[in-house]
Amino acid sequence: MLEWICTGLGIVQGVLVAVNKRSNWIFYILQMAGLFIFSAINHLYGDMANDAIYFVIGVIGFIRWGQKEKSKITVASNSERIGYIVVIAVATLVGFLILKRTDDPLPLIDAFTTVSSFVATYYMMTKKLDTWVIWFVNDILYVVEYFMLPNQAIVLAILNIIWTGLAVYSFINWRKIMQKEESVV
């Protein structure tokens, strides 16, 4: 049942963020609470850390998206891109080394999705178009993770398949919004 609730919240949140609506953060916060419980049940410790921190990020995102001066969509600079790639690579390695010492069934995928989710969420919160490229890769790996779990999380895998499509749509839609915002300036 928890999977279904999180899935519903996630779909609503995904659609709202794709169309650039601030209310997406309310559904995001609720979903993170549910996913924290799911991750605890399945011993996905990296995901538990994600979900707890995301609750706070959701509140910050909701506030930030309400501030007019911080509400425009932009693209990450080349140095920001190099930075987030390095952060994802190094932090994934560190996370893997930590998680492989636990009963986490998929420590490498769990570490990568944990780290890349943080980076993607930060860029979503700051309205960087790059967030959707990171989410696309992340969502594909979440599908793999949920199918590979000893107790497969089929509903959450389906949610991430939907989110993969939403990442593509969101990239296209945010780019159109960004171009309109640039033409107004």
Specify the higher pLDDT residue, 84 or 71. Answer: 84
- Per residue in 115-136, pLDDT (tens digit) is 998 999 999 999 999 999 999 9
CA nearest to 105, candidates 141, 144, 149: 149
Q: Where are the domains of the chain?
A: 2-184
Instruction: Give the pLDDT confidence score for residue 170 in this predicted structure.
Output: 95
Residue % of the chain over a pLDDT of 70: 99
* Reduced 3-state DSSP string for the chain: CHHHHHHHHHHHHHHHHHCCCCCHHHHHHHHHHHHHHHHHHCCCHHHHHHHHHHHHHHHHHHHHHCCHHHCCCECCCHHHHHHHHHHHHHHHHHHHHHHCCCCCCCHHHHHHHHHHHHHHHHHHHCCECCHHHHHHHHHHHHHHHHHHCCCCCHHHHHHHHHHHHHHHHHHHHHHHHHHHHHHHC
3-state secondary structure of 100: coil
Q: Rounded to whole angstroms, how far apart are CA atoms 79 and 137?
A: 20
181: confidence class by pLDDT, cuts 50, 70, 90: confident
- Per residue in 6-48, pLDDT (tens digit) is 888 988 998 999 999 999 999 999 999 998 898 888 888 877 8
Instruction: Give the pLDDT confidence score for residue 69 in this predicted structure.
Output: 73
Specify the higher pLDDT residue, 43 or 85. Answer: 85
Whether the pLDDT of residue 92 is over 90: the answer is yes
Specify the higher pLDDT residue, 134 or 104. Answer: 134
Specify the higher pLDDT residue, 183 or 161. Answer: 161
Q: Amino acid letter at 79? A: S
Instruction: Give the pLDDT confidence score for residue 68 in this predicted structure.
Output: 78
Whether the pLDDT of residue 185 is over 70: the answer is no
